[in-house]
């Protein structure tokens, strides 16, 4: 009895199963266009690293302070005139 899976039989089967359209289009796979190089990060405006951000003046803070000086209201403009409680003297 003759062996069914010889090298020639496998190659002929491979040639029968091969898609001829894939061989014709194999050259088109190598073409690189600018759009094929794009990534999600390429969409939209680019970051401007040249612009220097100025750091705001940071005041030295005392770690023992409960709240910042800027958070304390000044004068009578912050008093509630509709507060029915008596004012301390």
* Distance separating alpha carbons of residues 36 and 42, to the nearest angstrom: 12
Confirm if 61 and 68 have CB atoms less than 8 A apart. yes
pTM: predicted TM-score of the whole model, two decimal places: 0.24
* Distance separating alpha carbons of residues 40 and 47, to the nearest angstrom: 14
DSSP 57: P
Q: Report the chain (89 residues): mean pLDDT per 10 consecutive residues.
A: 80 86 60 75 77 70 79 68 80
Distances (CA, A) of 76 to 42, 67, 73: 55, 20, 9
61's CB contacts (< 8 A; 6+ apart) are 68
Q: What is the pLDDT of residue 40?
A: 84
């Amino acid at each position: 009895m003759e062996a069914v899976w010889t090298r020639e039989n496998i190659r002929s089967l491979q040639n029968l199963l091969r898609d001829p359209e894939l061989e014709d289009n194999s050259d088109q796979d190598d073409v690189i266009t600018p759009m094929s190089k794009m990534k999600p990060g390429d969409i939209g405006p680019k970051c401007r690293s040249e612009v220097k951000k100025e750091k705001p003046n940071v005041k030295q803070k005392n770690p023992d302070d409960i709240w910042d000086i800027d958070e304390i209201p000044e004068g009578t403009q912050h008093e509630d005139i509709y507060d029915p409680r008596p004012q301390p003297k």
